[in-house]
Structure 1
Amino acid sequence: MNLIIKRRIILYLLLFSVLLLLGYLIVSVTFKKQVPQNRDQERELSVIEIDSILKSVLVDYAIPTEWVQQKKTKVKGEDSLNYYYIINLSSDISIPMLIKDLKRVYDKDRTGMVCKETIFRNDTEIKVFSSEFLKLKAELIPTKDIERDRNKLGFIIHDSYKLTQDDLAYLLELPYSVTFALYPDKEFLSLRDSIVKYGKNYIVLINDEIVNKEFKLSPDYGKDILKKSIAVILSKFNSAAGFVVSTNSDIYESTAINFVRDEFKKRKIILYTEKDFISFDENEIGEIRSIIKFHAENLVEKRFKTFWISFENFKEIQNNLADLRKRGTRIIPFSQRINDPS
């Protein structure tokens, strides 16, 4: 009996030893695989590498090279730093946003990277350290009388009168101004007031959805009735930034459109159509993004473009508009457009 117990004890000890050996081998292999990765993540970045990151972010903001100066450093003891940057920035560039983007790129997959900022008066100084060594210093200086040479874009949300309250609130609370479209109707008077209250623009769309007789422009009406309807529209919607007649409407397809257009012209008001703007009704979203980017960056033709776009497509391009605005493209209301078709 004692012999059997001894054999079992020896067997258990051997089995335990084998398990310990296997565990040691697994831990050793795993540790060896991880060590090179950690060393690579924590490596010290060179001044050239850190400089290239700064320059790439400046390119993202379309900051001209002449706004960036390289100065020899005069402060001793700042590690091996031989120069620093003075970067002039126009008033439309958000310094906190630029620094946020800079930190995001520096921190991406790079442990041991520290980006510090110091505000002195209106200027901001940033310092970038790698492995506790100063690798970059730059002074960001807000500068008057300089401006990035970029285009201006306007967006008319042509179906905004069909939107839900949540979607309307989304447009009203945007940090820039888009232009709403309303057709003359008593039910839109409160929306008209909200748009004006939020400092946004709207255009009056003359189409076949007008049902109120006092606003309706029918080709069957005589000139006196048409003249009265136009007067009421202009009176009730006198805060409108513009007036657009739908090319699919009965009034547009009739000879009466000439009289209507002349009545607006007498009051020094241009009566536009959708064709006066860049329309996206039949474009895929990829095409829309490409067309908007082209017009934003084309500095040869007219510098202000107005787009006739649905709410759904407008929401799809928000990331693209954010990038364009970061690069200096301005999104402005219809009231600021050049007073002729783009």
Structure 2
Amino acid sequence: MLGKKITIILLFALAFFLLLANILTGPSEKENSAKDPLSKQNLSTDEVMNGIIEILKEFDVDTLVVKNRVKKRDIKSYTVKLPADLPIPVILKDIYNRFKGSDVKISALDTAIRGKDPKPIQITALSIQGEDAGKFLFMFENESKISRKKGELGIYINDFAELNKEETQYLLTYPEALGFLILPTKEARDLKEIIRANRKDAGIIISDEVSDIDYKVHSKYSKRRLLMSVKLLIGAFTEYSFFLIDKDAEIYNSTAFAFLESEFNKRNYKIIPTYKFDFIDGESSEVILHKFRSMTRKTIKGERAIISVSNENFITIQDELKKLKKKGVHIVLPSKLIGEEESIQ
């Protein structure tokens, strides 16, 4: 057993030595001659260090620790402990992209070492070196005791039924969780199956725009007529535990809503008004982005939010959405947040 541990330590030491040797030797003459000084930006030590710190801040990481410099070689050495939920390759990708086009050379080596715990510690050694910047060595590792307690964000696209085929396909295959608000129609029964097959949410919304007489509701309808609509809605969309209702719908703002809601509740279905969502719209991209930042700021503090946005405005907020994800905010299906909130109540 002792011999096995010694072998592992020796292998790690060898890997570390090879990486260190690569740093010490620096770029070859061939590489130097191939560099075009007009197209390459020579970065200083501070510029490299500030670039790394900025990237870590984008991910809400502040665990950069200075280690001892390698003697006589002036290598600036650091260890970076990352939260358990943040994969090291995600950070490395941003580092590579940040320094693309500069003169610095970047290389990485994955390895594993054994500490006190029986499970090996996965470490990535990243070397960065430049003509003016000097030589850096960053040791990245995930630390189980470090966590980013961020919130969750659910997103409803509110004009899904109006989109063309290309736009629809883009949203259905979007890599993150999404929800789509759709009116209850006979066509929607087939559409919801397509949405579910792509692991997305279909939010069935009751509003004054419902044209299908089977699912239409109005305060002037008799209780018997309203009850029929409730039963038909549940029968057509039985897999859902709730229905949404437009906060501006005529029946929602009438005394008849109490009866409608009670009939849904009797059958173990909730009816959720859309005022519980944050609607993001505006006349310019600046307004859209400002609203998005304001409405989702609480998710960075560990809270939850559901937003409703058009496809066009959803495209506008893509960069801001990526920033939230970097900080550890989870993008989840809106139904998850609604279901958990209702169960608490």
TM-score band, normalised by shorter chain: 0.7 to 0.9
Seen in structure 2, the aligned counterparts of structure 1 residues 182 and 50 have a Cα distance that, compared at 3 Å, is same
Contact 2:289 2:317 in 1 (8 A): yes
Counterpart position of 1:87: 80
Q: SS in structure 2 opposite 1:181?
A: strand
Check if 1:118 corresponds to 2:120: no
Q: SS in structure 2 opposite 1:103?
A: helix
Deviation at 1:304, TM superposition (A): 0.8
Q: SS in structure 2 opposite 1:107?
A: coil
Deviates more, 1:280-289 or 1:258-267: 280-289
Contact 1:201 1:240 in 2 (8 A): no
Counterpart position of 1:70: 66
Check if 1:201 corresponds to 2:201: yes
Deviation at 1:101, TM superposition (A): 1.8
Seen in structure 2, the aligned counterparts of structure 1 residues 322 and 160 have a Cα distance that, compared at 3 Å, is same
Counterpart position of 1:102: 95
Give the letter for the 1:71 counterpart: K
Deviation at 1:42, TM superposition (A): 6.9
Unaligned ranges ≥5, structure 1: 1-36
Seen in structure 2, the aligned counterparts of structure 1 residues 193 and 140 have a Cα distance that, compared at 3 Å, is same
Deviation at 1:124, TM superposition (A): 1.5
TM alignment of 1:166-315, pairs within 5 A? 166-240=166-240, 242-282=242-282, 284-298=284-298, 303-315=303-315
Q: SS in structure 2 opposite 1:239?
A: coil
Q: SS in structure 2 opposite 1:307?
A: strand
Seen in structure 2, the aligned counterparts of structure 1 residues 134 and 335 have a Cα distance that, compared at 3 Å, is same
Deviation at 1:117, TM superposition (A): 0.7
Seen in structure 2, the aligned counterparts of structure 1 residues 91 and 300 have a Cα distance that, compared at 3 Å, is closer
Q: SS in structure 2 opposite 1:339?
A: helix
Deviation at 1:303, TM superposition (A): 0.9
Deviation at 1:310, TM superposition (A): 1.5
Seen in structure 2, the aligned counterparts of structure 1 residues 41 and 301 have a Cα distance that, compared at 3 Å, is closer
Unaligned ranges ≥5, structure 2: 1-35, 113-121
Quote the sequence identity (%).
23
Give the letter for the 1:229 counterpart: S
Counterpart position of 2:164: 164
Counterpart position of 1:45: 44
Contact 1:202 1:242 in 2 (8 A): no
Q: How many residues align?
A: 297
Seen in structure 2, the aligned counterparts of structure 1 residues 149 and 293 have a Cα distance that, compared at 3 Å, is farther
CA distance in 1, matches of 2:140, 2:301: 33
Which of structures 1 and 2 has the bigger CA Rg? 1
Contact 1:184 1:205 in 2 (8 A): yes
Structural RMSD (CA): 3.0
Query: TM-score, normalized by length of structure 2?
Result: 0.76
Give the letter for the 2:53 counterpart: K
Counterpart position of 1:56: 54
CA distance in 2, matches of 1:41, 1:172: 41
Output one character per residue of 1:215-252: Cα deviation in whole Å (capped at 9) or x when no partner: 22233432233223212212321333642212343333
Contact 2:108 2:124 in 1 (8 A): yes
Q: SS in structure 1 opposite 2:176?
A: coil
